Structure 1
């Protein structure tokens, strides 16, 4: 009946998890099949055109643009021209494409233009229009003018209310007819009253997810999540709400009971849920499969349970991805004992790209002459960016070794790669009295970063 969770859940402020726009955009563009696929025969030609088009027209980074392809530039070009004619800046358009990439293949004249004209006919200024639609562009995907009006007005009211230094409630005196819309607006308003921020709140409004469509069930679920102690300003709050809303009390208790049979304490299960709410989305079969896969790495049952407690996200990794990562590590020369140690220290390693793990390990071992044992001792290096972190620092180390300032062997891996940029520069660059040498080392360090930034 949720009592263990409610009893043991304590409200704690957690740090906001922010996603880089480029990462979100990459993920969305990769899944937007309507305009991200192309045939093998004309793939190369289409790819070249797409990269050039997206970089020149949208200002997207080259690496992101390479993941997209249009068969015909007519639609996206017309959409971009239409948006710009209504005052949308590149920044607005970037936000729109990030959240709603499908808009680029809409019919500009037959679909989008009438909607923009309709909103302007209702008194929306260019500033109001661009500000509102860049925050919730999915409004433009709606078909009926009535729905467009309802959601546009509500989003506008939320934006305006949030601009005040004092908290203002959004007036719901004239709710639309229709239970689904009425419930959705009321529930979004309830979330806002709890402190859920715009970045999490507004996307829920236009979502097709059933989370906000109910009334009694939503209130019950919201009450439980609040009592569990989730911070409403974080994404975990919304994720937990989705889980509680999706499953019945009986279904959740069955999931908890299964975890207890595996060897967890009830408190451990709730602690994992607090750390990563989607953990309870996993079926008994999926959890059992992950346990068996980790046993292949040489981990014992109690070690696997400890790993789950530390990093419950790993339960959701696909079997194929995990097995490929394991095979890659073994092929690189790591023993099963090494593999078990790596996973204990860096559980997320089981979900890293096999290609990435191979590239990083070979660089550290072959280019820098560090041993596999050094990697086992500091497995976090497998999660660091090769281009942004590892290579720039290692180039500085190689430059110092060439000048005879560090001996013939590289220093211990951890003090080179596991410390902050500032600590690294103080330890290996700024401490030298020779100003020319410091300038050279800084150029080596920053030169790699600049090169990487330009290629992204």
Structure 2
């Protein structure tokens, strides 16, 4: 095993009972099992760093049966191994809790071959049942139906990890500024995870300036929030910056400089240096 130097103290601190187990009868055996399963020593180390309990638990009783359940349901091997390597804590729950989470993800209807299936398992593994209920009630208080919450979760499971305050602030802004309904947002739920201060508000300001100057008409859709910063700058800022110079504030200027874009000039010159 190659846990030495600076990597060793944090590992032992995360699971002090490592010191209580036999090196030969448990730690090395588990490490070798993981190394074989994950195809490399580096992958095994990544999994253990994610959850050092993998070194001390009974893998045959705790983890491997869950992997078999996922495999039998049709979850691809690469998705299962990625789950074990990067989110192994989600496989350390008691069997009854894992069964509950697994059944819930199945009921949602996420394709087991999609990486979203694993993401949904991870999210629900981190979210106690009472927290899930509280999140659903929060959505209902914002005008959502439970079916719309399920649709949103199936498309972007991490929308359920956003704080209640963040969801409320974004939803209220989406409704008042863009006229988006809960049904519309549920079909593009990633927007709920966006930072209000860093993405939602600055992009809304760009469109407000363009609207006031007559350069943009029509509805602002989720796509305008979801596109990458570089594409957004090219399409909605640099294209109009000569006619509407006030569109560029300090925040926008910083992003333009970050991507190496050129302010001004013909459309052909408004290109990314590295594009």
TM-score scaled by structure 1?
Answer: 0.47
The corresponding residue for 1:321 is: 131
Total equivalences in the alignment: 247
Residue 232 of structure 1 aligns to a residue whose secondary structure is helix
Counterpart-to-counterpart distance in 1, 2:172 and 2:254: 19
Residue pair 1:343, 1:350 contacting (<8 A) in 2 also: yes
| Larger Cα-atom Rg | 1
Q: Does 1:367 align with 2:177?
A: yes
The corresponding residue for 2:262 is: none
Tell me how far 1:389 sits from its aligned partner: 1.3
Tell me how far 1:421 sits from its aligned partner: 1.6
Counterpart-to-counterpart distance in 2, 1:309 and 1:207: 24
Gaps of 5+ in 1: 1-186, 450-456
The corresponding residue for 1:224 is: 33
Q: How big is each residue's C-alpha offset from its partner over 1:304-323, in whole Å with a ceiling of 9 and x where there is no partner?
A: 86754343212311112211
Gaps of 5+ in 2: 256-275
Q: How big is each residue's C-alpha offset from its partner over 1:310-340, in whole Å with a ceiling of 9 and x where there is no partner?
A: 4321231111221111112222222333222
**Which of 204, 212, 230 is the matching residue for 1:402?**
212
Residue pair 2:30, 2:59 contacting (<8 A) in 1 also: no
Change (3 A) 1:231 1:302: farther
Change (3 A) 1:389 1:266: closer
Tell me how far 1:284 sits from its aligned partner: 2.5
The structure showing larger relative contact order (alpha-carbon pairs under 8 Å, at least 6 residues apart) is 1
The corresponding residue for 2:231 is: 423
Q: Does 1:284 align with 2:95?
A: yes
Q: Does 1:336 align with 2:146?
A: yes
Structural mapping, 1:29-428, within 5 Å? 190-192=2-4, 198=6, 200-204=7-11, 209-211=16-18, 214-216=22-24, 217-227=26-36, 228-229=38-39, 232=42, 235-239=46-50, 241-256=52-67, 263=73, 267=77, 272-290=83-101, 294=104, 300=107, 302-303=109-110, 308-316=117-125, 317-407=127-217, 409-414=218-223, 416-428=224-236
Q: Does 1:432 align with 2:244?
A: no
Write out the 4+ residue segments of structure 1 that deviate beyond 6 Å after TM superposition: none
The corresponding residue for 2:267 is: none
